[in-house]
Structure 1
Amino acid sequence: MNSRQSSRGRYKEREDKVLLELLDGRPENTEGRLEKEIRVYDFLDHLGIEYKRVDHEPAFTMEVCEEIDKMLQATICKNLFLCNRQKTQFYLLMMPGDKPFKTKEITSQIGSARLSFASAEDMEKYLDIEPGAVSVMGLMNDTEHHVRLLVDEDILKGEYLGCHPCVNTSSLRMRTADVFGSYLDAVGHDMTKVVLTGEA
């Protein structure tokens, strides 16, 4: 068995099989981890929010994604960073990963003009996140509240929620009630609930 430990994450590899570990809280060794990831752990710890962590490689394959989902046993979100045509309004949409995204469903519910995907530059500017790591945790960096949070109602039904700590080399599991309760209160963001069917 060929196993190794990386400063970016803790995992074991055996041929093409990746075995992940569900860990408690923040990493003991933070060497090699980005400051914005550590800020997430500091913030959650300060709020007293409990969380589990899975470290993994950033280059996802479907197999690895499925293993992460199984390990977290939480609602895995599709997180989309959107904006209007004028790029004057920005939105973070959280929806189930297996539900198709239909723009018209959103615009009719939030009273906005046509939406499109926002740029990587705006994502980093407002959320301090790069593509592939979009997460509700990024709202802690949006101190001037440029981004409006939209949440599909199905996300709220699960007991646990899975998300990235602003980097795509780790995934967290937290209670859904903690994320949309004490966390959102602390970052000063409101949630707008939307109903998405994924139908044309």
Structure 2
Amino acid sequence: MSYTIHKGRPTDTSERTQKELQTYDLLDELKIEYLRIDHEPLETMEACKKVDEIFKTSMCKNLFLCNAQKTKFYLLLMPGDKKFKTKDLSKQIGSARLSFGPFEDMERLLCLTPGSVSVMGLIFDRENQVQLIIDQELLEEPYLVCHPCINTSSIRLRTEDVIDKFLPRLGHEAIIVKL
């Protein structure tokens, strides 16, 4: 499949979901520039590789996690080539053993479905029930690529804009870890 890079939001919004449009609305309101690629649904890290190559970025893995009691929820952003080891992360954030969060909680808290997990989902976490965790290595990257709450598009934003504009607007602070 051939991919085309577009600047900003799509002009034809008839086929777009409300949550995707809300993502573009907030990015535009914050004057955050982004590039966009529309594509078939990408549900795995392997499927996302081509988009990252076109954007000339390192792959970012987004994981929705919870503690054993399912009372605390986390969104972990880490380099796509790193293996996730729960004990390494659990120790750094002072949490009981972590596991992947249930689909129902991900949808309830972030309005996201499997395969579309993204930092953009924090737009819908108005009560700050999901703690963002970012691997230090990602902060050294100039750009971050993620889905705009739907896995049929990918957007590339400046990492600095996510940290300095997007997260403060949502009232979210990230815990920085070294995995």
Same fold (TM over 0.5): yes
Question: Which bracket does the TM-score occupy, shorter chain normalised?
Answer: over 0.9
Match runs of 1:22-171 below 5 Å = 22-59=5-42, 65-171=48-154
Q: How far is 1:73 from its partner? A: 1.6
Calculate the TM-score normalised by the size of structure 2. Answer: 0.96
Q: Give the greater-gyration-radius structure (CA).
A: 1
Unaligned runs of 5+ in 2: none
Q: 1:84 to 1:63 in 2, by over 3 A?
A: closer
Question: One-letter code of the match for 1:138?
Answer: G
- Structure 1 gaps of 5+ residues are 1-17
Give the fraction of aligned pairs with identical amino acids, expressed as a percent.
54
Say if 2:3 is the partner of 1:20: yes
Counterparts of 1:62 and 1:181, CA distance in 2: 27
Worse-superposed segment, 69-78 or 35-44: 69-78
* 2:174 is aligned with 1:188: no
The yes-or-no answer on 1:177 pairing with 2:157 is no
Q: Give the Cα–Cα distance (whole angstroms) in 1 for the partners of residues 131 and 121 of structure 2.
A: 12
Structure 1 runs (4+) deviating above 3 angstroms are 59-64
Tell me how many residue pairs correspond in the alignment. Answer: 179
Alpha-carbon distance in 2 for matches of 1:119, 1:63: 22
Distance across 2 between alignment mates of 1:48 and 1:65: 26
Distance 1:61 1:188 in 2: 29
Distance 2:46 2:2 in 1: 11
Cα deviation, 1:132-180, whole Å, max 9, x if unaligned, reads 0000000010000000000001110111110000000000000000001
